[in-house]
Amino acid sequence: MDAEQGLPPGALPPGSVIGIVGGGQLGRMSAMAAARLGYRTHILTHEAEGPAAQVASGVTLGAHDDPAVLRRFADAVDVVTFEFENISADGLELLASLKPVRPDGAILRISQDRLAEKRFIEAAGVPVAPWHAVEDRAALDVAVGTLGLPFVLKTTRLGYDGKGQRVIRSPDELDAAFDALAPHPLVAEAFIDFACELSVMVARGLDGGAVAYDAVQNHHRDHILNLTLAPAPVTPGIAAEARALALRIAEALSLVGLLGVEMFVAADGRLLVNEIAPRPHNSGHWTMDACPVSQFEMHVRAVAGLPLPPAVRHSDAVMKNLVGPGEMALWPQIVATPGLLPHLYGKQEARPGRKMGHVNRLFPRGALPGAFGIAAALGPLAHDGSFSEA
């Protein structure tokens, strides 16, 4: 059988190798989805025993900024994608000269830089929080004048899980924050007293067809995602607007791949986009059990040039992250509780703040309970009372 025959133009036939830059859990779960579709995956990582390498058919070990390593990696694959966003512009260009890179490096460059990201999102006609570029100390005083207090000061690069940002509540804090946050430039953002945080996963294929999953609500703890509620308990109007904004950004980027779009719902119901990530996203893990086609399969399909099925949801769901040694200690109870659907990432050491896995809990469509019901449904994982505001 010629598996290529009849596939859309440019689509990878079964047996092709998808190269993934980055060896963490997002690569692992993408590799597992790729295997189900008959693809092999090859990981570029410095961790021989990392989460993705454990389940891939090949690994190139080395640094993602070493041209020789990148060449060896590109030689081994048919297409390149990412689960790790901090590859250098030079590294990206080298990869793109050797194999198709999806999503395109230009998209990665926008998402790597909060200033470029805000400019792009605004230019696409999508609202963001008021912001001010902070190139030097004087610009910080201007930012206080235009944004008022409090505001959030962030690095433009390399931030994650709340690292690389500070809330400034008084002018006394400006000097220390300016010196502590690096590299410069920084970006100052108005502090949004949000009603809640939402995200939408959107995918766009080689043929330009795009799909968006339902908007979900995210709860953070210590700046790390703790819970995702699918669908977000917001009005149908807000939910539709969130999907529309995510699709508009994907279109403006000419995305081929998967994109997570994080948003704030302001007190007046207006949506403001916070940041974008052109890869699978922690707040999309609920799709692994609540949707016929998970975010990881959608990612693989988009990158491989396959058709994108509708991003439908057959169940409501709660996703709870398993973070650090405390929550890993609950593993025996988690696997003993019917209805909890666990996913572990194969990380050897449960350091504080490290994402070790997640658990999904499904409910019939329309039956997502309130905070009390969610806590009850999560059983042993409601251990610290952190669902009171869910």
Cis-peptide into 185, omega within 30 deg = yes
Q: Name which of 133, 130, 101 is nearest 116 in CA terms.
A: 133
Per CB under 6 A, which of residues 128..187 are in contact with ligand ADP? 129, 152, 159-162
Cα separation, 154 vs 280, in Å, equals: 23
- CA 183, 185, 190, 196 dihedral sign is negative
Token output for 13? 């036939």
209 binds, among ligand ADP, Mg ion, none (CB under 5 to 8 A by kind): none
User: Do the Cβ atoms of 200 and 243 come closer than 8 Å?
Assistant: yes
User: Do the Cβ atoms of 357 and 331 come closer than 8 Å?
Assistant: no
CA distances from 214 to 108, 230, 285 (A): 24, 7, 13
Q: Which of residues 5 and 170 has its CB atom nearest to ligand ADP in the complex?
A: 170
Q: Which of residues 162 and 209 has its CB atom nearest to Mg ion in the complex?
A: 162
Q: Which of residues 56 and 110 has its CB atom nearest to ligand ADP in the complex?
A: 110
Token output for 295? 């975010």
191 belongs to the binding site for ligand ADP (CB under 6 A) = yes
162 binds, among ligand ADP, Mg ion, none (CB under 5 to 8 A by kind): ligand ADP
Cα separation, 20 vs 50, in Å, equals: 13
Q: Name which of 96, 138, 146, 22 is nearest 256 in CA terms.
A: 96
Token output for 299? 């990612």
Q: Which of residues 41 and 218 has its CB atom nearest to ligand ADP in the complex?
A: 218
Size of the site for ligand ADP (CB under 6 A): 15
192 belongs to the binding site for ligand ADP (CB under 6 A) = yes
Residue type, 185: P
Cα separation, 256 vs 209, in Å, equals: 9
Rounded least distance, CB 38 to ligand ADP, Å: 34
Rounded least distance, CB 77 to Mg ion, Å: 29
Rounded least distance, CB 256 to Mg ion, Å: 23
274 belongs to the binding site for ligand ADP (CB under 6 A) = yes
Task: Find the binder of ligand ADP among 85, 173, 275, 289 (CB under 6 A).
Answer: 275
Cis-peptide into 332, omega within 30 deg = no
Contact positions vs Mg ion (CB under 5 A): 262
Rounded least distance, CB 107 to ligand ADP, Å: 17
331 binds, among ligand ADP, Mg ion, none (CB under 5 to 8 A by kind): none
220 binds, among ligand ADP, Mg ion, none (CB under 5 to 8 A by kind): ligand ADP
Cα separation, 223 vs 196, in Å, equals: 14
Q: Which of residues 207 and 275 has its CB atom nearest to ligand ADP in the complex?
A: 275
197 belongs to the binding site for ligand ADP (CB under 6 A) = yes
Cα separation, 13 vs 4, in Å, equals: 5
Q: Which of residues 161 and 207 has its CB atom nearest to ligand ADP in the complex?
A: 161
Rounded least distance, CB 158 to Mg ion, Å: 13
Q: Which residues bind ligand ADP (CB under 6 A)?
A: 129, 152, 159-162, 189, 191-192, 197, 220, 223, 262, 274-275
